[in-house]
Structure formats: C-alpha cells, structure tokens
Structure 1
Amino acid sequence: MSFVIRPSRPSDLDSLYDMAKLTGGGFTNLPADRPSLAAKLARSAEAFGKAEDVSGDDLYLLILENVETGKVAGTAQIFSKVGQNWPFYSYRLGTLTQTSKELNRTFRAEMLTLTTDYEGYSEVGGLFLHPRERAGGLGLLLARSRYLFIRQHRARFGDRMLAELRGVIDEAGGSPFWDGLAGKFFGMNFQEADAFNAVHGNQFIADLMPKHPIYTAMLPETARSVIGLPHPSGRAAMRMLENEGFRFEGYVDIFDGGPTMAASIDEIRSVRDAADATLSATDGQQGNNVLAATGSLADFRACYGLVDVATDGTATIDARAAELLDANAGDTITFVAR
C-alpha cells in the first residue's frame, strides 16, 4: 500500500477545495470555501510549528497522500481544545418527569437544552475520504492515525475527546432537524446557516438561538425522528468511534441533530494499546499488521506495515513501510494492532 499520513501544507489548498466540493453539505470542518480552507491550513501550519508543548486553541490537519501519484486522498483534523475563542454549543437531551396525583398519571417530557458542556474538550473531526479511495482500510488508517499523533503529543491535548457526527440530510440537501427547530428562529435554510457557520463561526447561534429548553413534543415528527442519528454515510465512522471507546452521551449537534460522541483520551483504544519500540532493521519480512507512526509535529508520518517485536524490545519493520515513514534503524516507532 502506497498511502501515508502526513501533516498538511499550504500547497494542499487546491486538493482540499476539490474534496470539499464532494462532501454534500453539513460538513462544517471542510467548507467549500477557499479563503476558509486557506485559513485552516495556515492555522494548522502554526500548530505544527508551535514550540510550546502545551494545550491551546490549535488545529492539526492531517493529510492522506498516495505517494505514487502525489494526490491527496483524504483529510482529518484534531482540535486541541474547543470553546476557547467562542462558545462550543450542543443540545443536551434530557427528561423532565412530572406527576399529577389528581390524574394519577406520570408524564415524562423529553427536552433539548442549549449547553456549552464540552468546553475544554479536545476534538477529532473533519474526516473525509475521497470517494475513489473508500476501500482497503484507508478510512481506518486516516481516523486512527489521529490517536497516535495525540499519544505522541499528549501534553497538547485535554483529558477528554469529542467527535461530532454529521446528522441526517435529506435528498434536497436540507436538514429535517434544522427545519423543525432552529430554522424557525434564524430566517435562513440549513445550507445557508451551515455555510455561514463554516466561514464565520457560530456567534450568530449565541445571538439568536432560544436559551430556554425545547420540548421535543413540540417539534414535527420529521425533526424528532432524526435526533441523535448519524447521516447514513457516517454510520461506519460511528462504528469506528465506538470501537475506540467513544460513546453517545445524549448530546447532539445544534444544526442537524447528529450525535456527539465522547471518550476519555487515555482510554481511547488506539491511545491505550499503542506501544513504542526502537527499530533494529527496516527490511523485515514478517510480523503483525499494524498502524505505525514516526516523527513528531511537522515530521509526523503514519502508515500500515509489518512490525515484529523481538524479546529485547527492539523491532523490525518492512521495507515499504520504512520508506513511507522515512524510518531508519535506531528510530523509535509507535504502533498499534491493525
């Protein structure tokens, strides 16, 4: 396999823009807007170049590259801490139970409450794989490489991690959840609000969104039925998150009602189960199939490979993976079972 994960570069702008046009909407972290993408790449370059090994309002944008063609095949993002420069809003699903003795009945009302409960969390997001490359485990490589990066730069991230999944979008590109709730307060359709948020941020949510709890019984069935459901194309991503230890905790996206998943960073499987070893050779021909990573910050690389660990703790890696990682004997690799 000739694919490697690497940090983004400003020269990736055209490729990112071409991919952003394929997302189909509702993908705030990869807007089809060149200035916004250029700003993301600049912000990512600043994060990879930051000397202080501390957590801040940083964005790390990773690229999946086909090294044989030089083409960008996918992208994924890591936000070191959300809610620092502007609030990070979510809806929390809750239940209000009330009992009438006169009627001898108990009523349970489900409510949506606007919160900033995830302030200070780290976030993984912006995972998108080019449609022509959706095979061979590349989505898993792209997703899990983020956790090896986090493990190698642990001080730059918080205690807990979240991931927002895109909610249900109808055939016309609209959101039943938005149309049934927020759209009534904003005077714009979902596509307009989503595009505005991607480019300008979500301060307009703070300005216009009702602050009182919303009883879901007051929403149309079309909106109620999609609360907490991922977009059909995001079901595989949800399973990957669950396999890593993320769980749905009753929080949904304020735009499309998609589920927010969360986990303790140190309990994420790819963080917890990864190991380090010093390479004794880079021409190994046997071993276990792993996701391997080397380097730090702008020199970070990750790919699939064969790694064999000896009794003395050193390891060998196959020649192709060593080439993709630019790894040599004596280097340290981080790896986790595929």
Structure 2
Amino acid sequence: MSFRLRAARASDLEPLYEMAKLTGGGFTNLPPDRTALGAKLERAAEAFGRDDNKLGDDQFVLVLENRETGDVRGTCQLFTTVGQQWPFYSYRMTTLTQHSQELDRTVRAEMLSLVTDLEGASEVGGLFLHPNERAGGLGLLLARSRYVFIAMHRARFADRILAELRGIIDDRGGSPFWDGVAGRFFGMSFQEADYFNAINGNQFIADLMPKHPVYIAMLSDDARSVIGLPHPTGRAAMRMLENEGFAAEGYVDIFDGGPTMTARTDAVKSISDSASATVSSIDLEEGEKALVATGRLTDFRCCYGIRELLEDGSIALDSQAADTLDVAVGDTVWSVAR
C-alpha cells in the first residue's frame, strides 16, 4: 500500500468525524462534532487559499490518504500563530523559595501559574492515526510531514513552535488533574469542559479560572501525580518531539495537565534538515530512506520514498514515491532523511 499526506478538503469531513469518535476524549483539536470539524475545514481552506508569504492566523489540516483506495486514515494540523482569536492559556510550573531566619529553615513551594507566555507561537497538533494503521511508520510520517510543510512555507510560521500532549485520562474518561484543580471552580466534568472548549474555545477559562497561583502541595495526590505526564498513548509522540529538538519547559495543559513541548522553529531537526532539489531520475532502486514532499499549499503531498542526492544538486527518486507524489523529471521536491 502507498500512503501520502495531502491538504484536507471539505469532502474529508465524514472520515474525520469517524476518526474523532475514536479518540477517547481529551483531544481538543479533533472533536467528534461535525459542525466544529466543518468549521476547521473551512478555516483550513482559507489558509490554503491564501497564497502569500505573510504570517497570519492560519490553521492547516492535512490528512493521510491511502493512495490505492482513497481512504483517509489519519490527520494532523498546524496553527501558524496561537492566541489570536482568544488567549492561549497554559499553566507554568514555578518555584517560590522562602527563608525564615528565626527557624533557620528554607521552604520551596512549587506552584502552577496561569500564563499566556506562548501566545504568538506556531503549534503542531491534532495528530491522530486510525488504530488499524498503527504500523509501518505511518505515525512518524504524519508527525514529520508537518515539519516538512513548515520548511516549504517557512514565512507563514513563527520563530517559536509548540506541541501539546494529551495528559492522563482515567478509565472513565475523566482527568485527575481537572478534578483536582479547575473542576473545583467550574462545576462541570472534564468531558463537559473538554467538549465545550473544542466547540467554543477557551474564553470561559479566562472568565472563571482563578488568576492566583495554585500551590501544588495543596492538591490531591491523584492530581499531583499526573502533572506534566503524557497519556500512555502519547509517550512515543513525546519521544519523537524530543528527537526533533522539543523540550518540556514547565508548561502544562490547563485541562488535563499534559506537557506542552516547545522549540525554536529553525532548530527543529526535520525543518533544518529539509532541502529542495530538482528531480533528475525516477527509477532509483537503492538509496537512502527519506520523506519526500512536493507542491505548495493546496497541492502539498508528502510520502516515504528512497532518494539519492547527486553531486550536481539534483535528486533521484524511486518510481513508487514519484508515482505517489505525481512528480516527474524536472519537478522540484523537498526531502529529509527518514
């Protein structure tokens, strides 16, 4: 089978909705709601249709397509600048050190402070692969194709980039972090708050969330134990982000306490290592495994292939990758080693 990433279109609504129902909650960027998903696709169409090199408030949606059947089996998203429509809130873990001369004792208190430090950054998110396709490196293709897209459209993205990882969700679909922190103030379950956020945005957090720091020592054991931890299904994603140069710098999600990873955009490995070249051959049989992409905006396509970088600056590709991407000799592609 041959799979490729391409720009999402309106006809992808139903497969996206079917995948959204499989996420199990805590997946704000892929809500199981046709109206919300339709709005995302409309916003993505506007972003793909704006053919310039200016940083704006864009959202791009990509889908993983089985080239042979046309089935959509995964998706991922990119946001060029977060915090433009409404504030982008995070908790940041900080430490307050206090000393008493009379007791000769120093006390360090860890706190969660509500911040908007990450406003203006770009974000990679919304990654979901159908459970039946979680083999053969397709998750890695989904994840890294976003960075190749950024490299190909660099002026449309900010100099800082973030990725939010889903936090710990229990067997009932609840969040120990939510129950121990925000849930005490909102009078609604994690699932209710998560769904409302996915559909309507998080302005209600600004309206109702206490602005004072939360002392971690005053939280329940269950809430404390999950701060900054990814959901078990997200551990591999966290390792991939770390391999790309992302780091956890004390920011956690305000809903489920999952870690927010950050990096300088130009320091992300798959972005800095991506390069363009003209195709000189499409019959390569042996070479280096790579991600190969072509096309601008709506015409973007990305797949796995085999490449050879030649001394004259051109690139040779295998026939399957060339067919999957619909490229021929003389076309321009971007690639990065797998």
Query: If the TM-score is normalised by the length of the shorter chain, which range does it land in?
Result: over 0.9
Look up the equivalent residue of 1:203 and give its one-letter code. Answer: Q
**Aligned residue number for residue 136 of structure 2:** 136
TM-score (norm: length of structure 1): 0.99
d(CA) in 1 for partners of 2:93 and 2:175? 18
Deviations 1:59-115, CA, capped at 9 Å, x for gaps: 000000111121111000000000111000000000000011111110000000000
Identity %: 68
**Aligned residue number for residue 194 of structure 1:** 194
d(CA) in 1 for partners of 2:285 and 2:51? 38
Structure 1: gaps (5+ residues): none
The alpha carbon displacement at 1:314 in A equals 1.2
User: Following superposition, which runs of at least 4 residues in structure 1 exceed 2 angstroms of deviation?
Assistant: none
d(CA) in 1 for partners of 2:59 and 2:181? 30
Whether contact under 8 Å (2:51, 2:297) holds in the other structure is no
Look up the equivalent residue of 2:257 and give its one-letter code. Answer: G
The alpha carbon displacement at 1:287 in A equals 1.3
| Number of residue-to-residue matches in the alignment | 338
Deviations 1:139-180, CA, capped at 9 Å, x for gaps: 000000000100000000000100000000000000000000
d(CA) in 1 for partners of 2:53 and 2:125? 22
**Aligned residue number for residue 42 of structure 1:** 42
Deviations 1:269-292, CA, capped at 9 Å, x for gaps: 001111221101112212110000
* SS at structure 2 position matched to 1:284: coil
**Aligned residue number for residue 9 of structure 1:** 9
The alpha carbon displacement at 1:51 in A equals 2.3
**Aligned residue number for residue 224 of structure 1:** 224
The alpha carbon displacement at 1:52 in A equals 2.6
Whether contact under 8 Å (2:161, 2:264) holds in the other structure is yes
**Aligned residue number for residue 289 of structure 2:** 289
d(CA) in 2 for partners of 1:307 and 1:131? 29
* SS at structure 2 position matched to 1:31: coil
* SS at structure 1 position matched to 2:199: helix
**Aligned residue number for residue 167 of structure 1:** 167
d(CA) in 1 for partners of 2:238 and 2:309? 32
**Aligned residue number for residue 86 of structure 2:** 86
> How is 1:1-338 mapped onto 2 (pairs within 5 angstroms)?
1-338=1-338
Whether contact under 8 Å (2:282, 2:316) holds in the other structure is yes
d(CA) in 1 for partners of 2:277 and 2:51? 25
d(CA) in 2 for partners of 1:319 and 1:79? 33
d(CA) in 2 for partners of 1:286 and 1:310? 13
The alpha carbon displacement at 1:182 in A equals 0.2
Give the RMSD, CA atoms, in angstroms.
0.7
TM-score (norm: length of structure 2): 0.99
d(CA) in 1 for partners of 2:314 and 2:161? 31
Look up the equivalent residue of 1:112 and give its one-letter code. Answer: L
The alpha carbon displacement at 1:308 in A equals 1.1
d(CA) in 2 for partners of 1:188 and 1:131? 30
d(CA) in 1 for partners of 2:323 and 2:288? 18
